[in-house]
């Protein structure tokens, strides 16, 4: 277990991280790691003159190569933070350094978890993105199918019938039909007008509602979410293959950040999802606990559903 003084520095560093103060976080983590090393060395009866000598002597003798590499990285980043005024809040190198410090402290305290904190955090974040995509694409595909069926049943099929009747039924045919039915030739013009007016009304309805275009827009949005979900699953496999936080490279972190950007872009470009599409998705996926936001095309859900 870590000594109370060291643990106090560690907790202060974690609080700084939660508040986005990465400069203080790195400094406090560096202090806690150095004092942990001194404590670890003191137990063996070894005393060093300077902190830097103690740290590098510890690195040279460290039986865990990953911990030694973490210490080197933490040391270099702490120097950069101390002498550079750059904002490190979004820097993947600072993120790796914080993760490295936590890994070192976990090892020094005798607690080596299966997954380190940073890796777990990234996996949870990717799971959220994957499930968000699943809900959204389910909603958009259902909306697309419903609008396509409305287009067929209320516009396309009746319009085809109306056009066919108008083209095939000339005045002679209509006269013969009315004579056969005993209706008289006076109904020829009204019947023709009704058929023509019906076709015009259907054309105007199609232009006003445009179910076909709405169906297409929802299908395009669903396909975008499919691509984002596929990319997120691929990155999740890469994160699972990483051995410890130290190997969470800047490339992987940039890929995860690109997933966020793609997801935001898909939500902004997608049309609003009707409430009935949300309800259908809840029924299909098997989870009714949805928090629906009509102002957004994305889905906010409280229960995580595995795909």
Confidence band for 219, pLDDT divided at 50, 70 and 90: very high
Which residue, among 6, 251, 241, has the nearest Cα to 104 in the 3D structure? 6
Residue 256 main-chain phi, psi, to 5 deg: -65, -40
Under 8 Å between Cβ of 30 and 56 = no
Q: What is the pLDDT of residues 140-165, one digit of tens each?
A: 999 998 888 877 766 665 666 556 55
How large is the average pLDDT for residues 50-67? 68
Domain ranges in the chain are 4-112, 122-301
pLDDT band at 218 (very low <50, low <70, confident <90, very high): very high
Mean pLDDT of 82-95: 56
pLDDT at res. 228: 93
Residue 284 vs residues 91, 135, 273: alpha-carbon distances, Å? 40, 10, 16
Residue 302: pLDDT band with limits 50, 70, 90: very low
Asked whether residue 227 carries a pLDDT value surpassing 70, the answer given is yes
Q: What is the pLDDT of residue 221?
A: 92
- pLDDT (tens digit per residue) in 274-294: 888 888 887 877 654 444 333
Of 143, 120, 135, residue with least CA distance to 263: 135
**pLDDT given at position 222:** 92
Q: Which of 25-39, 80-94, 225-239, 254-268 has the highest mean pLDDT?
A: 225-239
Lowest mean pLDDT across 8-22, 128-142, 164-178:
164-178
The residue that leads in pLDDT, 201 or 299, is 201
**What's the pLDDT score for residue 282?**
79
269-278: average pLDDT: 87
Closest CA to 104 of 65, 133, 54: 65
Report pLDDT for 226.
93
* CA 31/CA 10 separation, integer angstroms: 9
Q: When comparing pLDDT for 46 and 217, which is higher?
A: 217
pLDDT of 161: 59
Q: Where are the beta strands (DSSP E) in the chain?
A: 290-291, 300-301
pTM of the model as a whole: 0.49
Cβ neighbours of residue 224 closer than 8 Å, sequence gap 6 or more? 262, 266, 269, 270
Domain 4-112, CATH among 1.20.120.330, 3.30.70.270, 3.10.20.600, 1.10.3720.10: 1.20.120.330
Q: Is the predicted pLDDT of residue 252 greater than 80, yes or no?
A: no
């Amino acid at each position: 277990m870590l000594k109370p003084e060291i643990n106090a520095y560690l907790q202060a560093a974690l609080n700084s991280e939660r508040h986005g103060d990465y400069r203080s976080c790195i400094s406090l983590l560096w202090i806690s790691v150095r004092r942990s090393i001194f404590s670890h060395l003191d137990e063996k009866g070894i005393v060093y003159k300077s902190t830097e000598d103690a740290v590098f002597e510890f690195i040279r003798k460290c039986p865990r190569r990953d911990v030694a590499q973490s210490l080197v990285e933490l040391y270099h980043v702490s120097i950069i933070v101390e002498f550079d005024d750059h904002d490190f809040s979004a820097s993947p190198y600072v993120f790796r350094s914080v993760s490295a410090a936590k890994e070192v402290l976990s090892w020094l305290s005798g607690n080596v978890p299966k997954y380190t904190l940073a890796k777990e955090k990234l996996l949870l974040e990717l799971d959220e993105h994957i499930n968000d995509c699943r809900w959204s694409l389910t909603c958009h595909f259902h909306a697309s199918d419903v609008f396509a069926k409305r287009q067929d049943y209320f516009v396309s099929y009746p319009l085809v019938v109306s056009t066919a009747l108008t083209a095939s039924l000339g005045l002679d045919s209509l006269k013969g039909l009315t004579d056969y039915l005993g209706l008289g030739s006076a109904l020829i013009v009204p019947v023709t007008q009704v058929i023509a007016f019906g076709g015009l009304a259907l054309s105007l309805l199609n232009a006003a509602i445009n179910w076909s275009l709405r169906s297409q827009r929802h299908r395009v949005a669903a396909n975008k979410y499919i691509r984002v979900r596929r990319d997120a699953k691929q990155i999740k496999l890469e994160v699972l293959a990483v051995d410890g936080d130290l190997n969470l490279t800047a490339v992987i972190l940039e890929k995860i950040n690109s997933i966020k950007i793609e997801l935001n872009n898909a939500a902004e470009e997608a049309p609003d999802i009707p409430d009935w599409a949300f309800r259908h998705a809840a029924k299909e996926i098997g989870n009714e606990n949805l928090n629906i936001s009509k102002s957004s095309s994305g889905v906010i859900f409280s229960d995580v559903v595995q795909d």
